[in-house]
């Protein structure tokens, strides 16, 4: 067998291995599309993409434009589900942009893509999440190209395996939000940055770089830190690209995003139902949270899924072995010109939330998804360290890493409840209530829609969103006592107290109580007289 035939056979085997890993990546994610019900943020995505605002002040609601309104009386659950589907005919993109401006603190690109996607594939759970899986799978070749550029061919397979099997990747690539799109845009911008340095200002490369930068900035504001990292690296190492061309490309990005960013102050200053949730202290120290934030992109432990916290310490030890060997073998070359780009992207993605917190007094550093655009860089850097090992040592180290990650990854794959919000499971219990019963849902608007979405029978729902200040105790809750029982569901209220529960406890008997993950269901009956001492 000649050398050419041997090379061709090796390439064929490598291709089969990469295809097998891609099939594994898709095969793990696709069954997850319908395994758990949507949680509040995913329901929010679906509402906005169908042109319905949820987070506006009650006084600003325009029902004729699809805005959420708290009805004065209980409604059938099916009445609420209209906020989660397209109208007939579907609204145009202007309504989607309006809903984003009123309700969200992110730019509109993801929602516009989802608007188009759901008009073709529908608004089912699977259709919503499939868009995220699509972008995650589209990352596959980009992760390969980045790993090859940064660590050579030995780094490519570890990078792809880690991307396919890490718990954070599995979780957010099946989330009906913009996070896997951010990975794609961040990885694409980093690779195009390297190509501009190597090949110079080719029109196609410059145009793609500008559009990837603009697309990311129109998807999530924290993507700005990735753009800054890539732009700063190109300014320091322009290679065949002149700095003048780089500045012109930056101006091109600015021109594309200007129509939205000119209104950024107006949009961010608007009152929203969940406007203060990032102001609630969730960590002892923002500085410590910022220092540990890069590790959360790799760690097997998260508040989003249950697992043994000891795995975290074991994972640190396992990850440190290839890192130590890479430092020994590479020394200062670990910070070579091309590799600095990955370090800068990772540092910028994690430093961004810390800077934002210092300026705004928030706690975004405690939420890994705000640094999630740095995950491709983190995985490529880990793959670089693995690629420096000899083949058998590399295989053994990758095996050990997977052994500490897989318990959490399997938990993510099998978990029937997402983000501690069991809307589907609660709705199954509500299907058992009588036709004369009223279900009071104490939540934010997307939480009310979550209960309504999975309720199969004609259950009467009474929305109680405390932040909207439309409900009063005792007037609104007392008016419900004429019927049968009252079932109170408290889920994802974002810290808003439930005065209706306190009042009911004074004038009714709790006949059934059930706690389920982050939700509570209380059934009240045997109502007492208002003049009695209560139960």
Lowest-confidence range among 18-27, 42-51, 451-460, 520-529?
A: 520-529
| Residues of the domain holding 489 | 423-525
The enclosing domain of 497 has a CATH number of 3.40.190
* Better-predicted residue by pLDDT, 423 or 13: 423
Quote the DSSP letter at residue 368.
Answer: G
**Domain closes at, from 414, 433, 468:** 414
Residues 375 and 450 in one domain: no
The Cα–Cα gap between 18 and 10 comes to 12
**Domain closes at, from 385, 414, 443:** 414
The total domain count for the chain is: 2
Residues 336 and 480 in one domain: no
| Of the candidates 394, 272, 273, the residue with the CA atom closest to the CA atom of residue 326 | 394
Tens digits of residue pLDDT in 142-173: 999 999 999 999 999 999 999 999 999 999 99
Max CA distance (Å), the chain: 98
Tens digits of residue pLDDT in 344-376: 999 999 999 999 999 888 899 989 999 999 999
The Cα–Cα gap between 339 and 151 comes to 8
Residues 407 and 483 in one domain: no
**Alpha-carbon distances of 239 from 205, 245, 272, 337, 488, rounded to whole Å:** 14, 12, 46, 11, 64
- Is residue 179 a part of any domain in this protein? yes
Residues 250 and 353 in one domain: yes
3-state secondary structure of 480: coil
Phi-psi region of 362 (alpha: psi -120 to 50; beta: other; left: phi over 0): beta
Res. 1 pLDDT band, cuts 50 70 90: low
Residues 439 and 376 in one domain: no
Residues 328 and 452 in one domain: no
Q: Express as a percent the part of the chain with pLDDT over 70.
A: 97
Residues 247 and 377 in one domain: yes
Q: What share of the chain is helix, strand, coil (3-state, %, to 5)?
A: 65, 5, 30
- Is residue 305 a part of any domain in this protein? yes
Tens digits of residue pLDDT in 452-481: 999 999 999 999 999 999 999 998 998 887
- Is residue 178 a part of any domain in this protein? yes
**Domain closes at, from 357, 379, 414:** 414
Q: Is residue 528's pLDDT more than 60? A: no
Q: Which pLDDT belongs to residue 3?
A: 67
């Amino acid at each position: 067998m000649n050398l050419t035939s041997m090379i061709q056979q090796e390439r064929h085997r490598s291709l089969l291995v990469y295809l097998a890993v891609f099939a594994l990546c898709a095969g793990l994610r696709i069954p997850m599309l319908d395994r758990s019900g949507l949680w509040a943020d995913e329901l929010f995505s679906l509402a906005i993409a169908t042109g319905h605002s949820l987070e506006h002040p009650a006084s600003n609601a325009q029902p004729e434009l699809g805005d959420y309104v708290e009805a004065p009386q209980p409604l059938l659950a099916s009445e609420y589900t209209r906020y989660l589907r397209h109208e007939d005919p579907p609204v145009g993109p202007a309504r989607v942009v309006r809903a984003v401006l009123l309700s969200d603190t992110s730019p509109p690109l993801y929602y516009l893509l989802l608007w188009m996607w759901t008009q073709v594939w529908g608004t089912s759970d699977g259709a919503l999440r499939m868009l995220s899986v699509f972008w995650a799978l589209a990352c596959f070749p980009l992760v390969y190209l980045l790993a090859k550029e940064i660590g050579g061919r030995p780094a490519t397979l570890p990078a792809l395996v880690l991307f396919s099997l890490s718990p954070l990747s599995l979780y957010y690539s099946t989330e009906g939000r913009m996070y896997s799109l951010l990975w794609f845009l961040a990885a694409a911008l980093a690779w195009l940055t390297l190509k501009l340095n190597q090949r110079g200002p080719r029109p196609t490369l410059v145009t793609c770089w500008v559009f990837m930068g603009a697309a990311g900035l129109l998807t999530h504001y924290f993507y700005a830190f990735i753009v800054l990292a890539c732009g700063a690296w190109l300014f320091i190492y322009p290679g065949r690209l002149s700095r003048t061309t780089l500045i012109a490309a930056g101006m091109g990005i600015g021109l594309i995003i200007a129509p939205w960013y000119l209104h950024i102050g107006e949009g961010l200053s608007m009152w929203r139902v969940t406007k203060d949730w990032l102001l609630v202290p969730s960590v002892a120290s923002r500085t410590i949270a910022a220092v540990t934030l890069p590790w959360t992109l790799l760690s097997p432990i998260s508040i989003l899924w249950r697992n043994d916290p000891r795995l975290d310490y074991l994972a640190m030890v396992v990850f440190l072995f290839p890192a130590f060997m890479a430092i020994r073998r590479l020394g200062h070359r670990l910070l070579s010109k091309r590799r600095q780009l990955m370090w800068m992207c990772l540092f910028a993605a994690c430093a961004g939330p810390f800077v934002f917190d210092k300026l705004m007094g928030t706690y975004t550093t405690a939420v890994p998804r705000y640094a999630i655009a740095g995950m491709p860089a983190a995985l490529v850097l880990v793959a670089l360290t693995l690629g420096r090992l000899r083949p058998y040592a590399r295989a053994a180290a990758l095996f050990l890493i997977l052994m500490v990650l897989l318990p959490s990854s399997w938990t993510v794959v099998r978990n029937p409840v997402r983000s501690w919000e069991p809307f589907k499971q609660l709705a199954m219990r509500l299907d058992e209530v009588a036709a004369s019963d009223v279900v009071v849902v104490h939540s934010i608007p997307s939480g009310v829609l979550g209960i309504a979405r999975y309720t199969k029978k004609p259950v009467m729902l009474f929305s109680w969103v405390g932040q909207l200040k439309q409900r009063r105790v005792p007037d609104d809750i007392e008016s419900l006592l004429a019927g049968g029982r009252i079932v109170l569901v408290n889920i994802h209220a974002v810290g808003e107290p439930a005065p209706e529960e306190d009042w009911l406890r004074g004038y009714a008997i709790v006949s059934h109580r059930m706690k389920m993950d982050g939700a509570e269901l209380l059934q009240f009956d045997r109502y007492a007289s208002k003049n009695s001492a209560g139960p």
